[in-house]
Structures are given as C-alpha cells and as structure tokens.
Amino acid sequence: MMFIDSPMLRALYSLPILFIVFLSWTIVFFFYKGYIFLVQCTLLNSIVYISFHTSLFLMYWSYYKAITTDPGTIPPNFKITSSSSSLEENDRIKEEQYCGKCEMERPSRCHHCHICNRCILKMDYHCPFIGNCVGFFNIRYVCQFMVYASICSIFVGSCCGHLFVVNEGEASIFTMCGMLSGLGLSAALPALAAFDCWLIVNNRSVMELQENTFDNKYDLGDGKKNIWQVCGKSILGYILPINTKYEGDGINYEISVNYCQEELKETEKASEEI
C-alpha cells in the first residue's frame, strides 16, 4: 500500500474505509436487533447464524488484505527487453511503455495512478473504499471481499424479508431497515462481484476496457490459466484471502496463441498485397 506523509491526507484517505466499516456494522446491528434476537434457536437459525458470521469474518479479512496488499509497482532498474527484430517497433514499444511522471520504463499493462502517484502493475482502478489501487497482486482480495459482502447482504436481506412476510408486514424498525439495506446491497454487490470475477477469468483490466482494446492478447483462451495468473493454483486460496503463489509476476505476460496466429495472418496478408 502507498505511504502518505501528511497526517491530514492520511485521515482524509481513511474516511471512505471508515464509512465502509460503519455501514457494515450498522447493517450487522440491524440484523441482530431485527432478526437474530427475535427468532427462536432452531437448527435452521443456527445454520444461518454460523454461515452469516463465517461470511462476515471472511469479508473483513479479505477487506483488510485488499487494503494492505501492495498491488505491485515497477521493479527498480526495470528495462524493457527487445521483443521485436524491428528497431522502429522496439522504439514504439519503449515510447508506449515509458511513464513521464515516474520517468521510468514500465512493463506492459502498467498504468500511472495519479492518486498513489506511482505506476501500478496491471492496474484496474484506484478504489477510495480500500484507499489503494486495484492491481495485479490485490485483485483477488478485492474479488473475495465483493463475494463475501454479497453473501452477507443476501443473508440480511432475505432473513429480515422472511420475518417481515411471516409477520404479515408488522415488523420492527430494525427488521425493516435490515430488509431494505440488505436487499438494496444484494441488488448491487453481486453484480460488482461478478464483474471482478469476469475480469480475472478473461484476463482483462478496467484500464484496458477503457482504452477500448477489444483484441485481448492476454486472454489465454482458458479461464483456468487466466485465474492461475492472478490467483495461483491453491483451492484454499480461492476461498480464504491467504497469501499464495501466483503463476504470473505482473511484469511478463504470456500472449494468447490465437492472437499470435491472427497477427501472423494479418502480416502475411499485408505482405501479399504489397
């Protein structure tokens, strides 16, 4: 995570994080007062209770990891290695992969964040709610956070909603607040979680989508291989936000075979036309 010198700025950047913590605890409070304290201790309610608290614990753990994990930046003394035999092509790559702000050459898929004031590996976007950039090394934690936050909101919305229906609309203010906040978040969070999963499975980044680069040369054509690049192969690592070894390093990227074949065809076609 970036280091900010000014205490004032640090406090300002922490506000959205405090807002998320406050919002989540308010909803948990609604869930306790509007559901857990009102229902009897049955087997089903015990399962709901344990599942909800497990999801809540994993949500905060993922959130902590998303905040504190460095998304990755340009390694010191990084130099672009010549990838083409053409000098002009190499010059073009060097120009594209040079950051004027950092005054350094940078790897492919690396972008400069104006808030962190540094280049981020496979940058997606700067997220004020984690006070950090979303990039190569923390996209997995952001995705896990969104998934567990979705599960928690579905629990709150559906349980309070169920109690509201059972009581034929005569529910406490806490049940009503729990139902409305839970259902509202259930409508938004799963869509964001699905988008993050889609980015990982298709080896995409938000910056590349904004640049309208529809030819995704980094999509290896196999969702599994794309996932391994930023999530590793450990099944446990897909469930828990633990440190695992990734297949990729955020600097070098394998290019899709299909993309290379298409490029070759285009070059052959162009040379035939000449």
Would you tell me which residues interact with Zn ion (CB under 5 A)?
99, 101-102, 112-113, 115-116, 119, 126, 133
Beta carbon nearer to Zn ion, 110 or 163: 110
CB of 196 to Zn ion, least distance (A): 17
Active-site option among 127, 143, 160, 260 = 127
Residue pair 151/139 in contact by the 8 Å Cβ criterion = no
Q: Rank residues 133 and 179 by Cβ distance to Zn ion and give the closer one.
A: 133
Angle between helices 223-231 and 139-166 (to 10 degrees): 100
Residue 273 neighbours by CB distance under 10 Å: 6
Provide the minimum distance between the beta carbon of 212 and Zn ion in the complex, in angstroms, as a whole number. Answer: 22
Spatial distance between the Cα atoms of 24 and 158, rounded to a whole number of angstroms: 16
- Tell me which residue of 126, 143, 251, 258 sits closest to 195, measured CA to CA: 143
CB-wise, 115 or 197, nearer to Zn ion? 115
Least Å distance, CB 69 to Zn ion, is 13
Residues 6+ apart with CB under 8 A from 110: 74, 97, 99, 119, 120, 121, 122, 123
Which tokens hold the place of 134?
């979303």
Residue 247: other Cβ atoms inside 10 A: 14
Q: Which residues contact residue 55 at a Cβ distance below 8 angstroms, ignoring those fewer than 6 apart?
A: 148, 151, 152, 155
Q: How far is the CB of 203 from Zn ion (least distance, A)?
A: 21
Active site residue 127: yes
Distance CA 259, CA 102 (A): 31
Closest to Zn ion by CB, 101 vs 265, is 101
Shortest distance (Å) from residue 6 CB to Zn ion: 16
Dmax over CA atoms of the chain, in Å, equals 81
∠ CA 3-16-194, rounded to 5°? 100
Q: How many helices, marked H, and strands, marked E, lie in the chain?
A: 9, 6
Nearest to Zn ion of 114, 224 (CB atom): 114
Q: How many residues does the chain have?
A: 274
Q: How far is the CB of 115 from Zn ion (least distance, A)?
A: 4
Show which residues are catalytic: 127
